Amino acid sequence: MDLQPTDDQAALVEMITAFAADRFSIETVRSFGEQGGFDRSRWAELAALGTFGISVPEEQGGVGLHFIDAVLVHEALGASLVPGPLVAATLASGVIDGVIDGTVVPCIINVGSEGPLLVENFRSSDVLLIIDDQGVGLARCDDATGVDIGHPTDPTTPVTILDSLPKTERIGDSDLARAWRRRGSLLASAQLAGNSAGSTKLAVEYAKEREQFGRPIGSFQGLKHLLADSWIRTEMARSSVWAAGVTIDEPEVGSIDRAIAGARLTSARAATENAKTCVQVHGGMGFTWEVDAHLFLKRAWVLETQFGSIDDAAEDVADLYATR
């Protein structure tokens, strides 16, 4: 048992974090959300790091590490709000040619719940992956029609509403669908965990600088306790996300489904609550479009719906505890 990152894993996280700081500044993140703002060359740079193929075997062009390593990478990406179809690209790498090096951009829709056919990052993608209970299907985005949402809730996650599901080529059976739902859920949870750390960092920096009543607002216990709670929620989220990642690699250690549903609950709570705290700590400025606090909150809202709702996750954990 060793549930702390190895030196190699810490170095991997550091590399992704440094790359994101350099090549995905918050200005770049914001620009990705604009009409036609998806920058394919920047996306290819991200892919060239091995980002999407971390856990893909080397003979398939990947880095050949474990799924936990992909989880750590997504946590780092989430902390910097790196935009684009990160989860879809990671799932499809090694399965669909060109995804791993960023030349083919995939988006994904998980069919199962009622409601409109909303797809994130559709307009910037080449292929659409459709997951349902029977399996995984592949379509060209050009073969689907839809209307772009004028005001996506997260300004850095463009959303399109499809008119209907296009005809697909079946690329995987129900086993692949189940595996992708599990892995997709956990990668989104990993980004949520990272998101929660990113908003906490932003809030703490502001609390140290901003002065009221003649001293930094971070010296007041009212804020200290809010921010300490944010840090704790992040550590809880990282703990369950990491444990779930290792459980995918070592299935004998516990229930994968319980670990993944639990990771969603702790990471979604951490991301949404910490981002709310971040807005609150920024005071009136936190209520402005200009300050980045809302970007964390809105991204968290997007991620927490991916591959299953919070209530579904809660019921999954309960049922898996009750039947163990």
Partner 1 sequence: MHLRDSESDAIFRSEVREWLRGAVASMPTPPSPDDWPGRRSYDAKWQRMLFDAGYAGINWPAEHGGRGATPTEHLIFLEESAAAKAPDVGVGFVGQMHAGPTIIAEGTDAQKSHHLRGILTGDHVWCQGFSEPGSGSDLASLRTRAFRDGDDYVVSGQKIWTSHAVAADYCEMLVRTDPNELKHKGISWLIMPMDLPGIDVRPLVTVHGSTEFAELFLDEVRVPVANLVGDENDGWRVANVTLSFERGTGFVGELLDTTNVFQELIQYSKASSRNGKTIWDDDSIRREVGIIGADLDALWAFTKRNVSQGARGGMVMGSGSGFKVAFATTQHRLGDLALRVLDRASLSMDDLGGEPTGELVHSKLHAFAISLGGGTTQIQQNIIAERVLGLPRER
Q: Give, for 138, the enclosing helix (H) or strand (E).
A: strand 136-140
Decide if residue 319 touches partner 1 (CB under 8 A): yes
Q: Closest approach of Cβ 236 to partner 1, in Å?
A: 5
> Which one, of 66, 65, 60, 121, lies nearest residue 89 by Cα?
121
Parallel/antiparallel/unpaired status of strands 159-162 and 127-131: unpaired
Which CB sits closer to partner 1, 91 or 241?
241
Which CB sits closer to partner 1, 27 or 252?
252
Decide if residue 236 touches partner 1 (CB under 8 A): yes
Q: What angle in degrees, to the nearest 10, is found between the helix axes of 221-249 and 256-281?
A: 160
Task: Give the CB-side neighbour count of residue 275, counting CA atoms within 13 A.
Answer: 25
Q: Closest approach of Cβ 314 to partner 1, in Å?
A: 3
Contact 163, 139 (CB under 8 A): no
Greatest pairwise CA separation for the chain in angstroms: 65
Contact stretch for partner 1 (CB under 8 A) within 19-27, 93-101, 295-303, 313-321: 313-321
Q: In this structure, which amino acid lies at residue 154?
A: D
Decide if residue 252 touches partner 1 (CB under 8 A): yes
Which residues from 253-312 bind partner 1, rule CB under 8 A? 253-254, 258-259, 261-263, 265-266, 311
Decide if residue 190 touches partner 1 (CB under 8 A): no
Which residues from 101-160 bind partner 1, rule CB under 8 A? none
β-partners of residue 140 are: 127
For partner 1, which residue of 171, 216, 292, 301 counts as binding (CB under 8 A)? 216
- Cβ neighbours around 117 below 10 Å, total: 16
**3-class state of residue 222 by DSSP:** helix
Contact stretch for partner 1 (CB under 8 A) within 12-20, 24-32, 40-48, 315-323: 315-323
How many residues belong to the site for partner 1 (CB under 8 A)?
A: 57
Joined together, the tokens standing for residue 238 give 């990282």
Would you tell me which residues interact with partner 1 (CB under 8 A)? 1-6, 9, 68, 204, 207-208, 215-216, 218-221, 223-225, 227-229, 231-232, 235-237, 239-240, 242-243, 245-247, 250, 252-254, 258-259, 261-263, 265-266, 311, 313-322
